[in-house]
Amino acid sequence: MKRRKAYTPYLFLLPALAFMGVFLFYPIVDVFRLSFTDYNMITEANFTGLENYRNLFNDPLFWKTLKNSFIYLIGVVPILVVAPIFLAILVNHKLAGIKWFRAAYYIPVVTSMVVVGIMWKWLYQGNGILNYILQTLGIINNQINWLTDPQIALFSVMAVTVWKGLGYYMVIYLSGLQSIPQELYEVSDIDGASWWQKQIHVTIPLLKPSIMLVSILSSIAAMKVFTEVYVMTNGGPLNSSKTLVYYIYEKAFENLNLGYAAAMGFVLFIVIFILSFFNIKLMDQSSR
Amino acid sequence: MKKKLLVFSMLLLFVFSFSAVIAAEDVTVEFWTMQLKPTFTDYINGVIEDFEAENPAVEIKWVDVPWSDMEKKLLSSAAAGNAPDVANLNVPFSMQIAELGGLVDMDKNLSEDVKDRYFESVWSSNTYQGQTHALPWYLSTSITMYNAQIFEEAGLNPDNPPEKYSQLLEIGRQIKEETGKYLMLPPIAETGRYLEYMVRQGIPLLNENRTEAAFNTEESVEFLEMWVEMFEEGIIPRETITEGHNAAVDLYQSNQAAILLTGPQFLDRVQENAPGIYEQTKVAPEITGEAGKVGVAVMNIAVLKDTEHKEESIEFAKFITNDKNQLDFAKIVTILPSTKEAAADPFFTDVAPDSKKDMAKKVSAEQLNRAVNLIPPMTNQNELNEVINQMVQNALLGEKTATEAIADAEAEWNSILAE
């Protein structure tokens, strides 16, 4: 009887494992293999050894796009880790109409990024509504070139990612908040704690698991940004908003240089792996 | 019992072997087109029915693919081993696949008199290193669409639209001053389009051996400086740097730009999306440069090398591009045929004077005999295009002077061409 029971969980896992094997693990291994070839989808792939990796390390555009992806990471992740906590605290009250607010914050999440990108492209236009409002209010004198100034374009795109992601992480924190026992807040009330002290000493420590989850998810998402760039700027102007994944896409599907793209993809894989590893280590240490 | 089973299974085998033989005689040719459904479903189905009637052993399976997905879908199907037999591709993409040896050489597989049917200049736009890798199908030449009302408001004569690039600066200034609107959005920072502008202006791209860039000339610097001036004065919008033809159409439709350089088939789009602007729209020949050259956009029919039915595929390619079928096609949409006899039909010269679409068709057809595929086929076209895009962006944004930008682009081209 015992022996049969031991196998049952694995049998249940088998379909999911098979699916992941075919659509996740096998492609990862195959990309690694492709990175040593000159595959272009039309003709047979020839083995080229480490040539792709050598070209990669000497390619200034690879380093630029990697840098852009890191700027994305540093700019977007702190905001998406911290701000949704306060949004979640806000919508966690039993006020009239609070459900409407929760829905409103979540609507950007369920809207297609393509639609969001097109919409923000219009808002960001030189003679678009954002500049119009800012100029009418006297905040700026001349139009700001949100998407056509190489110094600002990347940050304009980052703002869209933040805007769209807030609701998603808010919901993760909301479920975390709802598992915090109310007695702890009542006890701190008795101790005379202010609202801010309650958040620092009760809410945030107990939200640690959620914070770790959010920081890993948002870091990975930030390193993989593609759609916003594709819709809004095509990586321009002057490659200032080109992220690594966009460059990989360009090399693979526009230049038909899949071997090189695979090499870049594998480097990205290693980078994200290291990032996630340090993320977890950091969280583990601070919780001790 | 066993005997009955044996007889029964032998009968079954007999019947099935017959059907296998019959099935083997029917050839299926898979044919992909770029975004022709639903507007042209009836036309293409008609052509397919006619072909199948003449070739009963061949069945054509038609698959229509959205324009922007065609490249990716074709590549992934080729990688999976089930690419179509015949495909409708544009010149740059068919060139890319041909470079990798993926298309059938039409020069070798067609007789001289069949080849003669097509316009020479258009046939040679698919010729590279001695091979012609596709049959030209339908063509369009660009025209100039302009908003007569904006012209009038700016104090310009709406019956006298600009003909050359050199006129654009003055006209643009006047339009900006009097109406505050943009002249147009020239797609010069996108996919190497600026190369076409240079060719129209008479600036050479390559030296005779096609081994080195030849566009670093005084005229070239002056030409680029003209666009930079237009950009700095706000005559063309800042979005010129990152946007392309689609944004140009949007800008024209939303009454923010006076001119749109596009194919005549876009008149339908303007009519549908902005009927008010359509009323004010007039049509003129494509604005060109000092060399007076006019570009032609060619749509191809190519046969993929991996096809299992080469003969039938080539026959279908010839059929769909023949005079009758092309003329029929040109009668339902503003495109031009690539075959001489079809293009000589009076349909292209007899026009109703009030009809904008007829005017567009006439203008478009008239340009055909001086139209050339502006960009000669080059290897590593994508990389070369990207260098030009960066050159234009750098100059427009003031990151480099026109002189520096062009010199840097020349150096990069030379290193790519030397590969």
C-alpha distances (whole Å) from A148 to each of A63, A232, A288, B199 are: 22, 10, 47, 27
Q: Same domain for B171 and B227? A: yes
Contact of A286 with chain B, judged by CB distance below 8 Å, is answered with no
Q: What would the pLDDT profile of B356-407 be if each residue is shown by its tens digit?
A: 888 888 888 777 767 777 887 787 888 899 999 999 999 999 999 999 999 9
| Domains in chain B, number | 2
What CATH number does the domain containing B352 carry?
3.40.190.10
- Give the domain extent around B397: 143-295+374-417
Q: Is residue B394 part of a domain?
A: yes
Q: At what angle do helices A258-286 and A60-91 cross, to 10 degrees?
A: 40
A211 Cα to chain B: minimum distance (Å): 37
Q: What would the pLDDT profile of A219-268 be if each residue is shown by its tens digit?
A: 999 999 999 999 999 898 999 999 999 999 999 988 889 999 999 999 99
Q: Same domain for B149 and B226? A: yes
Q: In the 8-state DSSP scheme, what is residue B261?
A: E
Q: Same domain for B234 and B109? A: no
Q: Judge: A42–B239 Cβ closer than 8 Å, yes or no.
A: no
A37 vs A40: CA distance, rounded Å: 9
Query: For chain B, how many residues are written?
Result: 419
Q: Same domain for B278 and B383? A: yes
Contact of A147 with chain B, judged by CB distance below 8 Å, is answered with yes
B223 vs B398: CA distance, rounded Å: 15
At residue A286, the pLDDT reads 67
Q: What would the pLDDT profile of A136-165 be if each residue is shown by its tens digit?
A: 999 988 889 999 999 999 999 999 999 999
**Does residue A1 carry a pLDDT above 60?**
no
State which fold the A52-286 domain adopts: MetI-like fold (1.10.3720)
Q: Same domain for B147 and B196? A: yes
How would you class B144 by CB atoms within 10 Å of its CB: exposed for 0-12, middle for 13-18, buried for 19 or more?
Answer: buried
Q: Judge: B100–A254 Cβ closer than 8 Å, yes or no.
A: no
Contact of A254 with chain B, judged by CB distance below 8 Å, is answered with yes
Torsion angle of the four alpha carbons B253, B259, B260, B265, in this order, in degrees rounded to the nearest 10: 80
Confidence bin at A135 (pLDDT 50/70/90): very high
At residue A79, the pLDDT reads 96
A234 Cα to chain B: minimum distance (Å): 7
The letter for the amino acid at A80 is: L
A239 vs A64: CA distance, rounded Å: 8
Q: Same domain for B332 and B401? A: no
Chain B residues bordering chain A (beta-carbon distance below 8 Å)? 71-72, 75-76, 78-79, 96-97, 100-102, 189, 237-239, 241-242, 256, 382-383, 390, 393-394, 397, 399
Q: Same domain for B92 and B181? A: no
Closest CA in chain A for residue B400:
A238
Q: Judge: A42–B101 Cβ closer than 8 Å, yes or no.
A: yes
Q: Is residue B3 part of a domain?
A: no
Q: Same domain for B42 and B163? A: no
Q: Same domain for B224 and B79? A: no
Contact of A236 with chain B, judged by CB distance below 8 Å, is answered with yes
Q: Is residue B10 part of a domain?
A: no
Q: What is the mean pLDDT of each run of 10 residues along chain B (419 residues)?
A: 75 63 71 88 94 93 88 85 91 85 89 89 83 90 92 94 95 95 92 90 89 94 96 94 89 95 85 92 92 87 92 94 92 86 84 78 77 78 91 95 96 91
Q: Residue B336 in 3-state DSSP? A: strand
At residue B340, the pLDDT reads 86
Q: Is residue B8 part of a domain?
A: no
Token pair for A286:
């601070």
At residue B71, the pLDDT reads 83
Q: Same domain for B149 and B134? A: no
Q: Is residue B11 part of a domain?
A: no
Q: Same domain for B252 and B378? A: yes
DSSP of A163-220: HHHHHHHHHHHHHHHTTS-HHHHHHHHHTT--HHHHIIIIIHHHTHHHHHHHHHHHHH
Q: What would the pLDDT profile of A172-217 be if each residue is shown by its tens digit?
A: 999 999 889 888 888 988 888 888 888 888 898 899 889 999 999 9
Q: What would the pLDDT profile of B278-305 be if each residue is shown by its tens digit?
A: 999 999 999 999 988 888 888 999 999 8
Q: Same domain for B276 and B360? A: no
Contact of A61 with chain B, judged by CB distance below 8 Å, is answered with no
